Structure formats: structure tokens, C-alpha cells
Structure 1
Amino acid sequence: MSKVARIAKRMEYRFPRPDDAWLHVTEWGSPQPDVTIVLAHGWTLSSQGWEDVAEILVAADPTLRVLAYDHRGHGKSAKTVASLDILADDLAALIEAVVPVGPIVFGGHSMGGMTMMALAERHPRLVAERLVGVAFVSTAAGNLLGQYRSLPGFHRFAAAALALSARVKLPSRPLFLARQGTRRGLFGARPRRHDMNRAVLQAAQAHPRCVAALGASILEHDRHVVLSSFAGLDVVVMTGSRDRLTTVEHARIIGQHVAGSRVLIFRDSGHYLPYERREEVTAQLLGMATKARVAVPDWAGAAG
């Protein structure tokens, strides 16, 4: 265990949902925080993808509470199928039950960022009343794989690929082929072998049918209109110059739709910024938490 991990106070538990499903939740930091940071992971990953950032956060500021969770069908959560709408409802219920008071800074990687956009669509009051900062990390508001969508047969091919993925489970041991595919498709110029192995292991935990269902939901994702809901919040959009899935153009479009936001492009980095740029991502979240503390009196007065 790393020095940072020893410093971080950590606990894990299940958060039950009414359909007999559950979310596996991990918390770090203070039980009585003035700011809570909620982190949501990407497609085929798990909350472990955020653990480096979470541990650095609470080591830097032990007064923070950091919460990360596994989406349905991922990590240690229930192996049930889902859509982005269902993930948004899960997130709303988790916040209302586990973080009932206080300002929230949200970090969403890839599908986690899309879940936050779906939350703004389905639970706008929660976003307006509770969030003070949002980090959209390697994500998009729609038009995924836009460079291929106009090709003849794209939708038939995508449907067939997702149907096949519903029947295929990755091996639990990292394979050279899987690591190479992860490196070339999702990581940037100089990935750490340890990070690639962790990404493959997380993908092996994901439930194939849920991965396929969410893949279809992600391809239908188009929430550019709801991005205006985040105007007035402290919003940063982060992307890697070598991200082939959620590209620099996707990040810039989010920035254009959210007034006052800032877009950060990390040279030679890929899609896995919580690993590849853990320090920079952490610094942005820490900065948001600092600004959130200034907003606490206003928030408390409004809540009262």
C-alpha cells in the first residue's frame, strides 16, 4: 500500500436501490466535511479508476470527503443492465441519501460525465441547489464516434458489435493483446504498464450485458441542450490531445455550451486522464473545493 493510501481514511459499503440492485461505494476523508467531492467513472471501468485522485485529494486536504462508486454492471455493484437515464437516477438517489447537506464538487470521467449531463436533464433542481463545481473529464455531450457515423452501415455494425460484446467476458488476467489495445486506443504517448493493467482488470469485472446496453445508450447520448444548466458553476473540461474516443472537439463543444467554463487540453495524453494526469486532475478538483468553501455561507443561507 502506498504512503498516500495509508494516510487516507477509507471505507466501503453497499448503497441499496429499490429494484434489488445496489451500488458499491467507497469513501475517503472526513466524516464531517464542509465540501464533498463525488466521482463517477467511465464505461467498462470502476471506482478504482478514481482511487489515485481520491487518495491524493484527502492527503492534500484531510477535511474533504471524497466519494466514488461503481455504476450498475461495473466493479462490485449489482450486475444489472442499465442506461444513462438509470445511472442518473442512481446518482441522484445516492446524493440525496448519502450527501444530504453541503456543497458538492462533481468529477465525471467519460460515461461519468455523461451521467452528470443526464442528471441535469432528469434532476435539474438537484444540480441547481447542490453543485458548486463540475469537472468534465474526457467526456462528450453527444456525437460519439462522429467521425465514423456517416459511413455506410455504421449503425448496423455498431449494433452487431454491441450484441457480440454482450456475450463476451474479458479474462481476469491482463493480456498483452488487451494491454496493447488499451494503449493504442485509449492511453496517450507514455502510459504506465500498471495503469493499463488496472484498466484491463476493471473491464474484466464489468458485466457484458450491461456494458452492451450502456454502449447503446452512449451512442444515443445527445445532451448538448442541458449543458446550459451548468452555467454559473465552476466548470472545467479536461481532455487529452490523443484521446480518440472523446476528442478535443468534444471538449471544446462542451466549453462553448457552458458559459464561463474553461477547457484544458493535455498534450500527448489519451482518454484515461485520472491515471495519466492524476496530479493535474486532482489540482483542478482541489481548486474547486477551495472555491466551494467560499460559497458555503451562501449555500447554507439558501438551504435554510
Structure 2
Amino acid sequence: MGSAAGVSAARALRRRVTSEDPHRDEDFELLDADRSSVVTTADGVPLAVREVGPENAPLTVVFAHGFCLRMGSFHFQRARLSDQWGAQVRMVFYDQRGHGQSGEAPPDTYTVEQLGQDLEAVLAVVAPRGPVVLVGHSMGGMTVLSHARQYPQRYPTRVVGAALIASAAEGVSRSPLGEILKNPALEAVRFAARYAPKTVHRSRGAARSVIGPILRAASYGDAEISPSVVAFSEKMMHDTPITTLVEFLHALEVHDEAAGLETLNKIPTLVACGDRDLLTPMEHSQEMARALAKSELVIVGGAGHLVQLERPDVIDDALVRLVERATPSKLVALTRRVRERVRSHG
């Protein structure tokens, strides 16, 4: 049933893709040219890291991407915000374990708790000093919550703001994804990944046929989507190793990082989502926003799960506001206004 529903939703998506393509000439590999480094986690997994902006910038913003994606899913944020923030902000992006250019790891380490520890490893190496704002999309938002729960002493002394985009504090079993997770094909692949890794490739097609259409259908809402953006996100999903896919699916189902909300309550937060998000329905975002005293809730009409790719302008503006709220010195806001004044007079 789940697979059939996914296929019909995917067909509907294909009809919505516009023939006009405003992003036909977009360079989606932009991040690959940025300053690169590798952070090795405590258990020896190499994480690929990219940076934009001066190393001595007054503020560092760290981005944690979502399930079956990689740091490139923040492409539009990287493109616009590096120009807008200039020398005042350093942006740090990294691929989560098992995703993108980061190393694969033992399947039993593919947990949301571990992702919170990986984020701490990245911060320790790349941003050991100075204020930090954390931005997480989907599973990346859960990573931020996991970090907040495990390292509450970092808030608000080091982490001064956080954004949870298309995310959830507790398991996604309440969403349509929960139904799909009960599919025996996925359990079979998960069993193989743990106990018979050499046989995983045999069941890979079955798992992809179950989850692929759902991820694609949930990615975008009703708006006309650029075919280039769709192709880019589908490539990220397709390139994700099958073990990563099935293990983290399970992790997302069982995770509970609601305790992290108590820590985030100390700092300004942004909670954002699309109102057509099937994977983390907007009720999750509304619940989190209610629990966060200093939150701004942004619900993007007509957008799906990949809201930061679908409506980057709305998310970018919200991140600018978050940084202005989170930076006590107002240094960033002041510099930005000066630069805009110069630009308007020039």
C-alpha cells in the first residue's frame, strides 16, 4: 500500500515540474570549491567539511543536513547568505556519517544520538571558540536537538541560536513515513546490512522501490519546481548508500530528542517547515515552537520537505533574522545595514 501511494504521489509530482527552469544554469557543486577539511569523529569516521567566510569571523553558523542528502542541500543558503553576511559570518557545512563524501560507519552507529556527538566533534575542531548558531534540516534538526540534550553546558555560552527546519523532536512514526517503515522489504535489508553485508546489494532494489517514490513525492509541495533542482535532490538521494538509508530510517522512527527542547529554550530559535511536508508534518514544527519561548515559527505555504531548496528566499530571510536575534552585539546586523546603504547609494 505504502509503495503504491508513493508511486501515485510521485506521478503527481512529475506533472507539477515546470518546463520553465530558472535554475538551468545553476552550479550545484558550488560547495565543492570551498575551503575543505576533514574532521575525524571519536570512533574514527572521517567527516567531510566545507567552509565559507573568514576563519576569524565574529560568528560561525554550522549547517547539519537531512536524511539521504548531503551538505549541498543548503546550496541556496550558501550562495545567498555568504554574499549577504560577508566577512561577519563564517558558514560551516559538513556531510553526516554515511552520507555524501563522509565515511561510512558501522550500521549500529547510525543513530540520532551519535549524530549529536558528531556535531560536537565538528564544533570542537572547526569552531573551538566564539559564538555559534546551529542550523539543522530534517534529520539535521534532530542532530541539533540531540546535541542540545547531550551538551546543555554549551548553551547559551557557545551556541547562541538554532534553526530547526522541517524537523521533529520525536519519532516520525506518526507521519506517512511511519506506515512505510513497516514494509517487510526494509526490515529484510536492515537485517542484511547488520548480519550479512555481502548480500545487501541483492535487496537494494527492493528497498529503493519502497522508499524512493515516497522521498521524491514528499520533497516538494504544489509549486512549480525547477527540473534542475528536482534532479539535484534526487541525485543526492540516489547516491546515498543503501545501509545508510535503512539504518537511519529506523533511527528516525525511534528517536526521541524532546529533552533537547529544554536546552534550546535558553536561546533564540527558528522553527520552519512547509505546510505540505509529508515526512515531518507541520504539526511537529508547531509543537516545537510552542515549547520554545524565543522561537519564530515560519510555515511556508505550498512547500514540501525540502523547503530550503524549494523556497530558499523565505528560509534565507528567516536565517538572517535569527542571526540578528542571536547576536547580542548586533555587530552582524549593523554591518549588513551599512553594506546595504553603501549598495543603495552606489
Superposition TM-score tier, normalisation by shorter sequence: 0.7 to 0.9
Q: Distance in 1 between matches of 2:269 and 2:94?
A: 21
- Over the aligned positions, Cα root-mean-square deviation in angstroms equals 3.1
Matching residue within 22, 29, 40 for 2:53: 29
Is residue 138–residue 165 contact of structure 2 (8 Å, CA) maintained in 1? yes
Aligned mate of 1:142, from 163, 170, 175: 170
- Check conservation: 1:9, 1:29, Cα contact below 8 A: no
Matches within 5 A, 1:1-304: 10-63=34-87, 64-80=89-105, 81=107, 82-147=110-175, 157-158=182-183, 160-164=185-189, 167=200, 182-189=215-222, 190-295=224-329
* Structure 1 residue ranges, 4+ long, deviating more than 6 angstroms after superposition: 3-9, 177-180
- Structure 1 position 34, deviation (Å): 0.5
Q: Which residue type is aligned with residue 281 of structure 2? A: T
Deviations 1:212-247 (A, max 9, x none): 222111111122233121113111110101001111
Amino acid of the residue matched to residue 56 of structure 2?
Answer: Q
Taking the aligned partners of 1:163 and 1:238, their CA distance within structure 2 comes to 35
- CA displacement, residues 276-298 of structure 1 (integer Å, 9 cap, x when unaligned): 1211211122222233433489x
TM-score, normalised by the number of residues in structure 2:
0.75
Name the structure 1 match of 2:339. Answer: none
Amino acid at match of 1:125: Q
Please give the alpha-carbon distance, in whole angstroms, between the structure 1 residues aligned to 2:34 and 2:177.
43
Letter paired with 2:124: E
Deviation, 1:124, is: 1.3
Residue 11 of structure 1, CA deviation: 1.2
Maintained 8 Å contact 1:39/1:108 = yes
Which residue is 1:301 aligned to? none
Q: Secondary structure at the match of 1:75?
A: coil
Does the C-alpha gap of structure 1 residues 149 and 286 become closer, same or farther in structure 2, counting only changes over 3 Å?
closer
TM-fit CA distance, 1:125: 1.2
Identity %: 24
1:180-230 CA distance string (max 9 Å, x none)? 655422211122211111111112222221222221111111222331211
- Say which SS state the counterpart of residue 31 (structure 1) adopts: coil
SS of equivalent to 2:262: helix
Q: Partner letter of residue 27 of structure 1? A: E
Give 1:158 shift. Answer: 4.8
Query: Structure 1 length normalisation: TM-score?
Result: 0.85
Q: Name the CA shift for 1:207/1:3 in 2 (closer, same or farther; >3 Å).
A: closer
SS at match of 1:145: helix
Judged with a 3 Å threshold, the aligned counterparts in structure 2 of structure 1 residues 3 and 22 are, in CA distance, closer, same or farther, namely closer
CA contact (8 A) 1:237 1:264 kept: yes
Gaps of 5+ in 2: 1-24, 194-199, 332-346
Q: Check conservation: 2:32, 2:50, Cα contact below 8 A.
A: no
Task: Look up the match of 1:302.
Answer: none
Q: 1:45 to 1:7 in 2, by over 3 A?
A: closer
Q: Secondary structure at the match of 1:54?
A: helix
Contact 1:113 1:136 in 2 (8 A): yes
CA 1:17 to 1:148, structure 2 compared with 1: closer, same or farther past 3 Å? Answer: closer
- Larger Cα-atom Rg: 2
Structure having the higher helix fraction is 2
Structure 2: distance between partners of 1:291 and 1:229: 17
Q: In structure 1, the residue corresponding to 2:157 is in which secondary structure?
A: helix
Partner amino acid for 1:47?
M
| Contact 1:43-1:110 within 8 A present in 2 as well | yes
